[in-house]
Amino acid sequence: MSATTMTYAQASALALTEAMEQNPAVVALGEDLGRGGSFGQYRDSMGTPLVKRFGPERIIDTPISENTIVGAAVGMALVGCKPVVEMRVVDFALCAVDEVVNQAAKNRFMFGGQGRVPVVLRMPIGIWSAAAAQHSQSLEAWFAHMPGLTVVTPSTPADNYGLLRAALATSDPVVYMEHKELWGMQGEVASGQAVALGKARIARSGADLTLVSWSRQFHLCLEAAAQLESQGVHAEVIDLRTIWPWDKATVLQSARKTSHLLVVHEAVQVAGFGAEIAATVAEQTDARVARLGAPRTPVGYAQVLEDEARVKVPQIVAAANGLLARARTRAT
């Protein structure tokens, strides 16, 4: 299986293209799709908008009405289509939360499995430089809280390809959360490579500390692990990939091995998904746990304010060292 270097955006476009070629029921709808998407995620490797290949009946430009877009997609899914919904950013998806939470997520349960809603809802998350408070939120914990939804957070081009393929193969609604600042990231992608939903990846092995993260923050954890190694601390780094279901087995096994776990996310720390991971590890292992997330404040437009809302590598290193230091103090 040969691999090709491509961007995070191109990887998702390839996955969608292959799915549309294989299954005529797959359609995409949302704003700006006709011009290739706001981030080029609906353009092929040559930069041509996918509408040129599949036509406006399958790559559908919609009015600026998120509630209408998702509502239409739910209806399409119930009659046999497999819609891919583009929300542009998760912040805009808040206008369609009723359709996501009360219609897509609950339909199969409320009607005894008579209807299925195989819709993929693309909701890019994370801080978007100089985009301010209404375009820079990480809301994965909101959707993980809702029964009936699968929540996916790819961190690399390979995963954006493989996980989108997996999302398109499911028969239930998937909230698919790409990161707003990863679209241009390059990496090797092997066409046909499958990535299972709910399976984490151990990106770096270590025996002293477990770092768990996802999406863009995973890359900062890798940087932090390299700095920690220079200090004599060997950190294991886990990319969760899927927020729900999350790979408890891999995380728990690592926590039992290292006896220390720090979960790091870009989302606000208060009630973030890191709390779920930390609580589960504390309940089921003897590991010392801690979490690190953003302060509970809107993301500012000014650079100095935006920086205050970002979780940066030095903070991760400091939190990891603090966790280990507290554990040593308690041991003595």
Active site positions, annotated: 135
**How far apart are alpha carbons 225 and 265 in whole angstroms?**
15
Query: Where is 174: in which H helix or E strand?
Result: strand 174-176
Specify the pairing of strand 82-86 against strand 120-122: parallel
Contact 98, 104 (CB under 8 A): no
Contact 314, 322 (CB under 8 A): no
Q: Cis bond leading into 124, ω under 30°?
A: no
Residue of 98, 85, 95, 96 whose CA lies nearest to 174: 85
**How far apart are alpha carbons 276 and 288 in whole angstroms?**
15
Q: Which residues pair with 292 in a beta bridge?
A: 264
> Which residue matches tokens 């912040």?
91
Contact 126, 216 (CB under 8 A): yes
Contact 250, 200 (CB under 8 A): yes
Query: Where is 79: in which H helix or E strand?
Result: none
List Cα–Cα distances, 259 to 60, 139, 284, in angstroms. 50, 29, 12
